[in-house]
Amino acid sequence: MNYDDVIREFKKGNIKMYALDGLIGSNKATEARRHFLEEAGGRKYTEIANTSLDFDKVCGKNAENTIGAAQIPMGVIGPLMVNGEYAKGEYYVPLATSEGALIASANRGSAVITQSGGAVARVVGDRMTRAPLFKVPDIDHARMLAKWVEENFDEVRSISDSQTRFTKLESFLPFFAGRNLFLRFSFSTGDSMAMNSATKASDAIASFLEEKFSWAKLVSVSGNMCVDKKPSAVNLVLGRGKSIVAEALIPKELVETKLKTTAERMADVCYRKIYVGSAMAGSLGGFNAHFANLTAAFFAATGQDLAHVVEAANGLTMMEESDGDLYASVTLPDVPLATFGAGTSLPTQKEALEILGLYGSGENPGDNCKALAEILSCTVLAGELSLIGALASRDLTKAHMTLGRSKR
Protein backbone atom coordinates (compact mmCIF):
# COMPACT_ATOMS: atom_id res chain seq x y z
CA MET A 1 0.00 0.00 0.00
CA ASN A 2 1.20 3.49 -0.82
CA TYR A 3 0.85 6.46 1.54
CA ASP A 4 -2.49 7.66 0.15
CA ASP A 5 -3.97 4.16 0.39
CA VAL A 6 -2.85 3.82 4.01
CA ILE A 7 -4.38 7.17 4.99
CA ARG A 8 -7.60 6.34 3.19
CA GLU A 9 -7.94 3.00 4.97
CA PHE A 10 -7.00 4.57 8.29
CA LYS A 11 -9.76 7.16 7.97
CA LYS A 12 -12.22 4.39 7.16
CA GLY A 13 -11.21 2.64 10.41
CA ASN A 14 -9.62 -0.33 8.64
CA ILE A 15 -6.15 0.47 9.99
CA LYS A 16 -5.52 1.07 13.69
CA MET A 17 -3.62 4.14 14.90
CA TYR A 18 -0.76 2.07 16.28
CA ALA A 19 -0.31 0.25 12.96
CA LEU A 20 0.50 3.41 11.00
CA ASP A 21 4.15 3.52 12.11
CA GLY A 22 4.95 0.19 10.52
CA LEU A 23 3.27 1.15 7.26
CA ILE A 24 4.40 4.74 6.60
CA GLY A 25 7.09 5.46 9.22
CA SER A 26 6.64 7.23 12.54
CA ASN A 27 7.17 10.81 11.32
CA LYS A 28 4.34 10.53 8.80
CA ALA A 29 2.26 8.46 11.22
CA THR A 30 2.58 11.20 13.83
CA GLU A 31 1.31 13.74 11.34
CA ALA A 32 -1.54 11.47 10.23
CA ARG A 33 -2.76 10.87 13.79
CA ARG A 34 -2.63 14.59 14.55
CA HIS A 35 -4.54 15.46 11.38
CA PHE A 36 -7.16 12.87 12.34
CA LEU A 37 -7.65 14.63 15.69
CA GLU A 38 -7.68 18.04 14.00
CA GLU A 39 -10.48 16.93 11.67
CA ALA A 40 -12.41 15.44 14.57
CA GLY A 41 -11.94 18.57 16.72
CA GLY A 42 -12.41 21.10 13.96
CA ARG A 43 -9.18 22.98 14.72
CA LYS A 44 -5.45 22.95 14.09
CA TYR A 45 -3.03 21.80 16.81
CA THR A 46 -0.06 23.84 15.63
CA GLU A 47 1.71 24.00 18.99
CA ILE A 48 1.60 20.23 19.48
CA ALA A 49 3.05 19.95 15.98
CA ASN A 50 5.84 22.44 16.76
CA THR A 51 8.75 20.16 17.64
CA SER A 52 12.21 19.17 16.43
CA LEU A 53 11.77 15.53 17.45
CA ASP A 54 12.51 12.79 14.94
CA PHE A 55 9.68 10.37 15.65
CA ASP A 56 11.34 7.63 13.63
CA LYS A 57 13.87 7.58 16.49
CA VAL A 58 11.42 8.26 19.33
CA CYS A 59 8.64 5.78 18.62
CA GLY A 60 9.12 2.34 20.06
CA LYS A 61 11.75 3.74 22.43
CA ASN A 62 10.25 6.74 24.22
CA ALA A 63 6.59 6.90 23.18
CA GLU A 64 3.88 5.34 21.02
CA ASN A 65 0.88 6.68 19.07
CA THR A 66 2.64 10.04 18.89
CA ILE A 67 0.92 13.21 17.69
CA GLY A 68 3.63 15.77 18.49
CA ALA A 69 5.27 17.01 21.67
CA ALA A 70 4.54 18.88 24.88
CA GLN A 71 6.68 21.92 25.68
CA ILE A 72 7.63 22.85 29.24
CA PRO A 73 9.49 26.08 30.03
CA MET A 74 13.09 25.42 31.06
CA GLY A 75 15.15 27.70 33.24
CA VAL A 76 18.46 27.45 35.01
CA ILE A 77 19.75 28.05 38.51
CA GLY A 78 23.30 28.72 39.52
CA PRO A 79 26.10 28.79 39.84
CA LEU A 80 25.52 26.08 42.45
CA MET A 81 28.66 25.00 44.28
CA VAL A 82 28.73 21.22 44.77
CA ASN A 83 31.40 19.60 46.92
CA GLY A 84 30.77 16.00 45.98
CA GLU A 85 32.93 12.96 45.39
CA TYR A 86 31.89 12.86 41.72
CA ALA A 87 30.54 16.38 41.08
CA LYS A 88 33.02 19.05 42.11
CA GLY A 89 32.68 22.73 41.30
CA GLU A 90 30.05 25.21 40.21
CA TYR A 91 27.13 24.07 38.04
CA TYR A 92 24.29 25.72 36.20
CA VAL A 93 21.34 23.39 36.74
CA PRO A 94 18.51 23.20 34.17
CA LEU A 95 14.98 22.87 35.54
CA ALA A 96 11.78 22.42 33.51
CA THR A 97 8.55 23.50 35.18
CA SER A 98 5.27 25.33 34.69
CA GLU A 99 5.16 26.61 38.29
CA GLY A 100 6.00 30.28 38.60
CA ALA A 101 8.44 31.24 41.38
CA LEU A 102 9.96 27.75 41.65
CA ILE A 103 13.13 28.45 39.64
CA ALA A 104 13.56 31.88 41.21
CA SER A 105 13.22 30.36 44.67
CA ALA A 106 15.70 27.56 43.96
CA ASN A 107 18.09 30.11 42.46
CA ARG A 108 18.02 32.07 45.72
CA GLY A 109 18.83 28.91 47.66
CA SER A 110 21.59 28.13 45.17
CA ALA A 111 23.17 31.55 45.75
CA VAL A 112 23.05 31.04 49.51
CA ILE A 113 24.74 27.65 49.22
CA THR A 114 27.44 28.90 46.88
CA GLN A 115 28.21 31.98 48.96
CA SER A 116 28.53 29.66 51.97
CA GLY A 117 31.28 27.67 50.22
CA GLY A 118 29.05 25.03 48.68
CA ALA A 119 27.14 21.98 49.84
CA VAL A 120 28.73 18.64 50.61
CA ALA A 121 27.01 15.81 48.70
CA ARG A 122 27.50 12.06 49.03
CA VAL A 123 25.95 9.04 47.34
CA VAL A 124 25.50 6.63 50.27
CA GLY A 125 23.68 3.87 48.37
CA ASP A 126 23.43 2.72 44.76
CA ARG A 127 21.01 -0.06 43.84
CA MET A 128 18.13 -0.77 41.50
CA THR A 129 15.66 -3.36 42.77
CA ARG A 130 13.19 -5.85 41.39
CA ALA A 131 11.24 -8.30 43.55
CA PRO A 132 9.73 -11.37 41.87
CA LEU A 133 6.79 -12.93 43.74
CA PHE A 134 6.50 -16.70 44.03
CA LYS A 135 3.52 -18.75 45.17
CA VAL A 136 4.72 -21.75 47.20
CA PRO A 137 2.91 -24.58 49.07
CA ASP A 138 3.69 -23.31 52.59
CA ILE A 139 6.13 -21.35 54.73
CA ASP A 140 8.62 -24.22 54.92
CA HIS A 141 8.87 -24.31 51.14
CA ALA A 142 9.27 -20.52 51.11
CA ARG A 143 12.15 -20.75 53.58
CA MET A 144 13.69 -23.62 51.60
CA LEU A 145 13.70 -21.57 48.38
CA ALA A 146 15.10 -18.46 50.07
CA LYS A 147 17.82 -20.51 51.76
CA TRP A 148 18.81 -22.15 48.47
CA VAL A 149 19.19 -18.72 46.81
CA GLU A 150 21.32 -17.57 49.75
CA GLU A 151 23.57 -20.64 49.69
CA ASN A 152 23.90 -20.61 45.90
CA PHE A 153 24.04 -16.90 45.34
CA ASP A 154 27.08 -17.08 43.05
CA GLU A 155 25.15 -19.35 40.68
CA VAL A 156 22.13 -17.04 40.80
CA ARG A 157 24.39 -14.05 40.13
CA SER A 158 25.91 -15.73 37.08
CA ILE A 159 22.44 -16.27 35.62
CA SER A 160 21.57 -12.64 36.25
CA ASP A 161 24.80 -11.12 35.01
CA SER A 162 24.67 -13.06 31.75
CA GLN A 163 21.56 -11.10 30.75
CA THR A 164 23.01 -7.58 30.59
CA ARG A 165 26.35 -5.86 30.19
CA PHE A 166 26.33 -3.29 33.00
CA THR A 167 23.52 -4.43 35.34
CA LYS A 168 25.07 -6.68 37.98
CA LEU A 169 23.35 -8.52 40.82
CA GLU A 170 24.70 -7.40 44.20
CA SER A 171 22.41 -8.87 46.87
CA PHE A 172 18.91 -10.06 47.73
CA LEU A 173 16.49 -10.03 50.64
CA PRO A 174 13.62 -12.52 51.16
CA PHE A 175 10.23 -11.41 52.48
CA PHE A 176 7.65 -13.96 53.65
CA ALA A 177 3.84 -13.75 53.76
CA GLY A 178 2.04 -17.08 54.11
CA ARG A 179 2.34 -18.90 50.79
CA ASN A 180 3.99 -15.88 49.19
CA LEU A 181 7.73 -15.41 48.87
CA PHE A 182 9.19 -12.14 47.62
CA LEU A 183 12.85 -12.11 46.56
CA ARG A 184 14.01 -8.48 46.43
CA PHE A 185 17.07 -8.42 44.18
CA SER A 186 19.40 -5.41 44.19
CA PHE A 187 21.52 -4.50 41.15
CA SER A 188 24.29 -2.05 40.33
CA THR A 189 23.49 -0.38 37.01
CA GLY A 190 26.30 1.95 35.92
CA ASP A 191 25.05 5.17 34.31
CA SER A 192 21.69 3.70 33.30
CA MET A 193 18.61 3.62 35.51
CA ALA A 194 18.25 0.07 34.13
CA MET A 195 14.79 -0.87 35.33
CA ASN A 196 14.29 -2.94 32.18
CA SER A 197 17.63 -4.68 32.63
CA ALA A 198 16.81 -5.47 36.26
CA THR A 199 13.49 -6.90 35.13
CA LYS A 200 15.17 -9.01 32.44
CA ALA A 201 17.71 -10.37 34.93
CA SER A 202 15.04 -11.08 37.55
CA ASP A 203 12.90 -12.89 35.00
CA ALA A 204 15.84 -15.12 34.05
CA ILE A 205 16.46 -15.94 37.71
CA ALA A 206 12.76 -16.66 38.28
CA SER A 207 12.57 -18.97 35.27
CA PHE A 208 15.60 -20.89 36.54
CA LEU A 209 14.08 -21.25 40.02
CA GLU A 210 10.73 -22.40 38.62
CA GLU A 211 12.49 -25.09 36.60
CA LYS A 212 14.59 -26.24 39.56
CA PHE A 213 11.74 -26.18 42.09
CA SER A 214 8.55 -27.39 40.41
CA TRP A 215 6.43 -26.32 43.38
CA ALA A 216 7.53 -22.65 43.10
CA LYS A 217 5.31 -20.70 40.69
CA LEU A 218 6.16 -17.19 39.57
CA VAL A 219 3.13 -14.96 40.10
CA SER A 220 4.73 -11.74 38.89
CA VAL A 221 8.28 -10.67 38.06
CA SER A 222 7.42 -7.48 39.96
CA GLY A 223 5.76 -8.29 43.26
CA ASN A 224 5.49 -4.66 44.52
CA MET A 225 8.24 -5.20 47.09
CA CYS A 226 10.62 -3.52 44.64
CA VAL A 227 8.98 -0.86 45.14
CA ASP A 228 8.69 0.84 41.74
CA LYS A 229 6.86 4.16 41.25
CA LYS A 230 4.98 4.07 44.55
CA PRO A 231 5.74 5.64 47.93
CA SER A 232 6.92 3.01 50.40
CA ALA A 233 8.53 2.56 53.79
CA VAL A 234 10.85 -0.19 52.52
CA ASN A 235 12.48 2.13 49.98
CA LEU A 236 12.76 4.88 52.57
CA VAL A 237 14.63 2.49 54.89
CA LEU A 238 16.60 0.31 52.46
CA GLY A 239 16.99 2.76 49.58
CA ARG A 240 16.50 2.36 45.86
CA GLY A 241 18.26 3.89 42.88
CA LYS A 242 20.63 6.50 44.26
CA SER A 243 20.52 7.25 48.00
CA ILE A 244 21.96 10.72 48.53
CA VAL A 245 22.71 13.15 51.35
CA ALA A 246 23.57 16.84 50.94
CA GLU A 247 24.43 19.27 53.72
CA ALA A 248 25.57 22.86 54.13
CA LEU A 249 26.43 25.27 56.92
CA ILE A 250 24.96 28.69 56.16
CA PRO A 251 26.62 31.58 58.06
CA LYS A 252 24.39 33.72 60.24
CA GLU A 253 25.00 36.78 58.08
CA LEU A 254 23.73 35.06 54.93
CA VAL A 255 20.67 33.70 56.71
CA GLU A 256 19.81 37.23 57.78
CA THR A 257 20.69 39.10 54.57
CA LYS A 258 19.67 36.56 51.89
CA LEU A 259 16.92 34.55 53.60
CA LYS A 260 15.67 37.49 55.69
CA THR A 261 15.30 35.46 58.88
CA THR A 262 17.34 33.64 61.53
CA ALA A 263 18.72 30.14 61.88
CA GLU A 264 16.67 29.61 65.02
CA ARG A 265 13.47 30.59 63.26
CA MET A 266 14.19 28.34 60.25
CA ALA A 267 15.00 25.38 62.49
CA ASP A 268 11.74 25.94 64.36
CA VAL A 269 9.71 26.08 61.14
CA CYS A 270 11.46 22.92 59.89
CA TYR A 271 10.69 20.99 63.09
CA ARG A 272 7.09 22.10 63.54
CA LYS A 273 6.04 22.07 59.86
CA ILE A 274 7.99 19.14 58.51
CA TYR A 275 8.01 16.77 61.47
CA VAL A 276 5.02 17.67 63.64
CA GLY A 277 2.84 18.65 60.68
CA SER A 278 3.78 15.61 58.60
CA ALA A 279 3.25 13.28 61.57
CA MET A 280 -0.17 14.79 62.20
CA ALA A 281 -1.04 14.29 58.52
CA GLY A 282 0.22 10.70 58.51
CA SER A 283 2.68 11.44 55.72
CA LEU A 284 4.49 8.43 54.28
CA GLY A 285 8.15 9.35 53.91
CA GLY A 286 7.56 12.92 52.79
CA PHE A 287 9.22 14.66 55.72
CA ASN A 288 10.32 17.63 53.64
CA ALA A 289 9.06 20.96 52.37
CA HIS A 290 8.83 20.28 48.61
CA PHE A 291 11.22 17.65 47.28
CA ALA A 292 8.69 16.85 44.55
CA ASN A 293 8.93 20.34 43.07
CA LEU A 294 12.66 20.21 42.45
CA THR A 295 12.90 16.54 41.54
CA ALA A 296 10.06 16.87 39.02
CA ALA A 297 11.65 19.92 37.38
CA PHE A 298 15.07 18.24 37.35
CA PHE A 299 13.63 14.99 35.97
CA ALA A 300 11.73 16.73 33.18
CA ALA A 301 14.78 18.71 32.14
CA THR A 302 17.25 15.81 32.16
CA GLY A 303 15.12 13.01 30.71
CA GLN A 304 14.42 10.92 33.79
CA ASP A 305 11.36 8.68 34.14
CA LEU A 306 8.81 11.19 35.46
CA ALA A 307 6.85 8.58 37.40
CA HIS A 308 9.85 8.07 39.68
CA VAL A 309 9.16 11.48 41.20
CA VAL A 310 6.79 9.65 43.56
CA GLU A 311 9.86 7.87 44.95
CA ALA A 312 12.28 10.79 44.82
CA ALA A 313 9.81 12.98 46.74
CA ASN A 314 10.28 10.77 49.82
CA GLY A 315 13.02 11.95 52.13
CA LEU A 316 14.06 14.07 55.07
CA THR A 317 14.96 17.72 55.54
CA MET A 318 16.74 18.72 58.75
CA MET A 319 17.76 22.13 60.02
CA GLU A 320 19.56 23.10 63.22
CA GLU A 321 20.83 26.35 64.68
CA SER A 322 24.57 26.15 65.35
CA ASP A 323 26.07 29.16 67.15
CA GLY A 324 23.84 31.43 65.11
CA ASP A 325 24.63 29.67 61.84
CA LEU A 326 22.24 27.28 60.11
CA TYR A 327 23.07 23.62 59.50
CA ALA A 328 20.78 22.21 56.80
CA SER A 329 20.65 18.79 55.20
CA VAL A 330 18.49 16.73 52.86
CA THR A 331 18.40 12.93 52.67
CA LEU A 332 16.99 11.37 49.51
CA PRO A 333 17.06 7.56 49.89
CA ASP A 334 15.12 6.61 46.77
CA VAL A 335 16.11 8.37 43.53
CA PRO A 336 16.23 6.35 40.28
CA LEU A 337 18.49 8.30 37.88
CA ALA A 338 20.31 7.94 34.57
CA THR A 339 22.69 9.80 32.30
CA PHE A 340 22.47 7.11 29.63
CA GLY A 341 19.53 5.54 27.80
CA ALA A 342 15.76 6.08 27.67
CA GLY A 343 14.66 9.73 27.99
CA THR A 344 18.20 11.07 28.41
CA SER A 345 18.77 10.64 24.67
CA LEU A 346 15.90 12.96 23.68
CA PRO A 347 17.40 16.06 22.04
CA THR A 348 16.34 18.66 24.62
CA GLN A 349 17.14 16.45 27.58
CA LYS A 350 20.50 15.50 26.10
CA GLU A 351 21.41 19.17 25.83
CA ALA A 352 20.34 19.77 29.43
CA LEU A 353 22.65 16.98 30.58
CA GLU A 354 25.39 18.49 28.41
CA ILE A 355 24.99 21.79 30.30
CA LEU A 356 26.01 19.77 33.37
CA GLY A 357 28.74 17.95 31.42
CA LEU A 358 27.11 14.63 32.26
CA TYR A 359 25.50 13.19 29.15
CA GLY A 360 26.14 9.50 28.56
CA SER A 361 28.51 7.17 30.34
CA GLY A 362 31.73 8.46 31.87
CA GLU A 363 35.23 7.06 31.82
CA ASN A 364 34.30 4.90 34.80
CA PRO A 365 30.77 3.48 34.34
CA GLY A 366 28.48 4.88 37.00
CA ASP A 367 30.48 8.02 37.82
CA ASN A 368 28.38 10.36 35.67
CA CYS A 369 25.15 9.16 37.22
CA LYS A 370 26.54 9.55 40.74
CA ALA A 371 27.65 13.07 39.87
CA LEU A 372 24.13 13.80 38.62
CA ALA A 373 22.75 12.48 41.91
CA GLU A 374 25.03 14.77 43.91
CA ILE A 375 23.96 17.80 41.86
CA LEU A 376 20.29 16.87 42.29
CA SER A 377 20.64 16.59 46.06
CA CYS A 378 22.22 20.06 46.26
CA THR A 379 19.46 21.43 44.03
CA VAL A 380 16.85 19.97 46.35
CA LEU A 381 18.70 21.46 49.33
CA ALA A 382 18.62 24.87 47.61
CA GLY A 383 14.86 24.56 47.22
CA GLU A 384 14.35 23.57 50.84
CA LEU A 385 16.49 26.44 52.14
CA SER A 386 14.64 29.00 50.08
CA LEU A 387 11.13 27.77 50.83
CA ILE A 388 11.64 27.31 54.56
CA GLY A 389 13.38 30.68 54.64
CA ALA A 390 10.36 32.25 52.90
CA LEU A 391 8.01 30.61 55.39
CA ALA A 392 10.14 31.76 58.32
CA SER A 393 10.23 35.34 57.01
CA ARG A 394 6.58 35.21 55.88
CA ASP A 395 7.56 36.13 52.33
CA LEU A 396 6.10 33.06 50.59
CA THR A 397 2.74 34.58 49.68
CA LYS A 398 4.38 37.75 48.35
CA ALA A 399 6.75 35.77 46.11
CA HIS A 400 3.98 33.65 44.62
CA MET A 401 1.72 36.62 44.06
CA THR A 402 4.56 38.35 42.21
CA LEU A 403 5.89 35.44 40.13
CA GLY A 404 3.32 32.67 40.17
CA ARG A 405 0.03 34.35 39.21
CA SER A 406 -1.57 34.49 35.82
CA LYS A 407 -1.88 38.06 34.52
CA ARG A 408 -5.52 38.83 33.85
d(CA 390, CA 398): 9
Residue 248 resides in a domain: yes
Write phi, then psi, for 41 (nearest 5 degrees): -90, -10
Active site residue 154: no
Tens-digit pLDDT profile for residues 201-233 = 999 999 999 999 999 999 999 999 999 999 999
Q: How confident is the model at residue 194 (pLDDT cuts 50, 70, 90)?
A: confident
pLDDT at 278: 96
Residue 116 has a CB neighbour count (10 Å cut-off) of 21
Cα dihedral 394, 398, 400, 401 sign: positive
**Which candidate in 170, 305, 351, 395 is catalytic?**
305
Q: How confident is the model at residue 342 (pLDDT cuts 50, 70, 90)?
A: confident
- Would you say residue 177 has pLDDT above 90? yes
What secondary structure does DSSP assign to 38-81, as a single string? HHHHTS--HHHH-----HHHHBTTTBSS--------EEEEEEEE
What is the signed CA dihedral for 396, 397, 401, 404, rounded to 10 degrees? 50
Residue 44 resides in a domain: yes
Residue 333 resides in a domain: yes
Active site residue 400: yes
- Would you say residue 398 has pLDDT above 80? no
Alpha helices in 42-193 (DSSP H): 46-49, 55-58, 102-115, 139-151, 153-161
d(CA 6, CA 20): 8
d(CA 342, CA 57): 11
CATH classification at residue 151: 3.30.70.420
Q: Are 105 and 139 part of one and the same domain?
A: no
Active site residue 305: yes
CATH classification at residue 294: 3.90.770.10
Tens-digit pLDDT profile for residues 223-268 = 999 999 999 999 999 999 999 999 999 999 999 999 999 999 999 9
Q: How confident is the model at residue 408 (pLDDT cuts 50, 70, 90)?
A: very low
Q: Are 258 and 379 part of one and the same domain?
A: yes
Q: Are 295 and 310 part of one and the same domain?
A: yes
Q: Are 141 and 104 part of one and the same domain?
A: no
pLDDT at 378: 98
Count of structural domains, the chain: 3
Q: Are 86 and 149 part of one and the same domain?
A: no
Residues in the chain, total: 408
Q: Is the pTM of this model over 0.85?
A: yes
Residue 7 resides in a domain: no
Q: Are 140 and 83 part of one and the same domain?
A: no
d(CA 367, CA 357): 12
- Would you say residue 399 has pLDDT above 60? no
Q: Are 361 and 345 part of one and the same domain?
A: yes
What range defines the domain where residue 335 resides? 74-125+241-403
d(CA 63, CA 329): 37
Q: Three-state SS for 395?
A: coil
Tens-digit pLDDT profile for residues 55-96 = 999 998 999 999 999 999 999 999 999 999 999 999 999 999
**Which candidate in 9, 99, 203, 268 is catalytic?**
99
Q: Are 390 and 264 part of one and the same domain?
A: yes
Residue 225 resides in a domain: no
Tens-digit pLDDT profile for residues 151-160 = 999 999 999 9
Q: How confident is the model at residue 397 (pLDDT cuts 50, 70, 90)?
A: low
Q: Are 103 and 174 part of one and the same domain?
A: no
pLDDT at 159: 96
DSSP state, residue 272: I
What is the signed CA dihedral for 69, 75, 80, 84, rounded to 10 degrees? 0
Residue 38 resides in a domain: yes
Amino acid in position 50: N
